[in-house]
Amino acid sequence: MNHGRERNEWQFTCILFAPNSPEQNPVEDVWLQGKNFLRTFWHRLIG
């Protein structure tokens, strides 16, 4: 869609985030909370 257009005419822009960086990607913080929950309460989830 952006092919042949000037940058200021682009219809969309993709921004790449650093992998596993909560400072740049807030989803990483959500995954960290989930992993910490599993590490803490794994024994309650199995039994």
The total number of structural domains that make up the chain: 1
Distance CA 30, CA 40 (A): 16
> Does position 10 have pLDDT exceeding 80, yes or no?
yes
Considering the entire predicted model, what is its pTM? 0.47
Residue 21, domain member (yes or no): yes
22 falls within a domain: yes
Which residue range is the domain that position 18 belongs to? Answer: 7-44
For residue 1, what pLDDT is reported?
A: 81
Residues in the chain: 47
Asked whether residue 30 is assigned to any structural domain, the reply reads yes
> Tens digit of pLDDT for each residue in 19-47?
777 777 788 888 889 999 999 998 888 87
Query: What are the φ/ψ torsions at residue 13 (nearest 5 degrees)?
Result: -135, 130
